[in-house]
Homo-oligomer: A and B are copies of this chain.
């Protein structure tokens, strides 16, 4: 596993990316006639939270097995602007061929890690944990969820096969929260708890009455969530979601919920600014 993904799936992803970037080679490097061995280094152009270097650097090896690299910044560490994250050596055409694909992945994962780190910092000291969601980029879920963990937040379920979460559609289809919960607990098996989503306090109380163990408070006001925290019996886990921003996180966390999930971690984190410079580290 590399950054939460099997090496084979990672390679397939990177090869698709290399293929879409250069279906028949690097016309510029060929036109200029570049060749020979060289060195390059990956440079943080702003303060970054490092995530995904082992995956991104793999690109160089796929471009040419003669490439090798040294990682200079640990996964999860903070690197200040101007830091060198890694150095790479290999044939110059391979370095240039892999550059953009490697950076595209790295900038994306570091961007997610940075937002996760900011979110984790926002809830520090409250006992709440920030969770990601299934709102990930198609094909990149394992990597993006790895970046969330690396940044200091936590993963909700990995997908539809991974845990049971009754949302309003399921409740409606089953007729009531109680009916949905009973059906789901009957079939869930011994290893899984069932989570149910509610959108107001009556729904919350109905879930409790039906024996809910994990309850997702979706798009509820701070006041409503505070009341839910006040009413919850021991052992019942509460997750808050809906419209979470970095600004609001601390306030919600302070209400006493156990988890806050936040789609923006994976779907709206801006890319980190990282570049590759040919040549030795200055």
Contact = CB atoms under 8 A, between A and B. Distances in A.
A1 interface: yes
Contacts of A22: 159-161
A100 B140 contact: no
Contact of A189 (B19, B154, B169): B154
B194 A193 contact: no
Interface residues of A, number: 97
Given A104-B136, A138-B101, A190-B258, A19 B32 contact: no
A135 B104 contact: yes
Contacts of A142: 20, 24
Interface string A162-206: 111111011011100000100110111111111100000000000
A35 B28 CA distance: 33
Contacts of A231: none
B158 A96 contact: no
A195 B31 CA distance: 12
A19 B31 contact: no
A107 B138 CA distance: 11
A18 interface: yes
A31 B268 contact: no
16 contacts: A8-B15, A8-B62, A9-B19, A20-B158, A23-B159, A25-B160, A27-B192, A28-B160, A34-B174, A100-B135, A100-B160, A172-B278, A173-B278, A190-B195, A190-B237, A192-B193
Given A13-B138, A31-B187, A31-B194, 5 more contacts: A4-B24, A20-B24, A20-B139, A23-B158, A157-B189
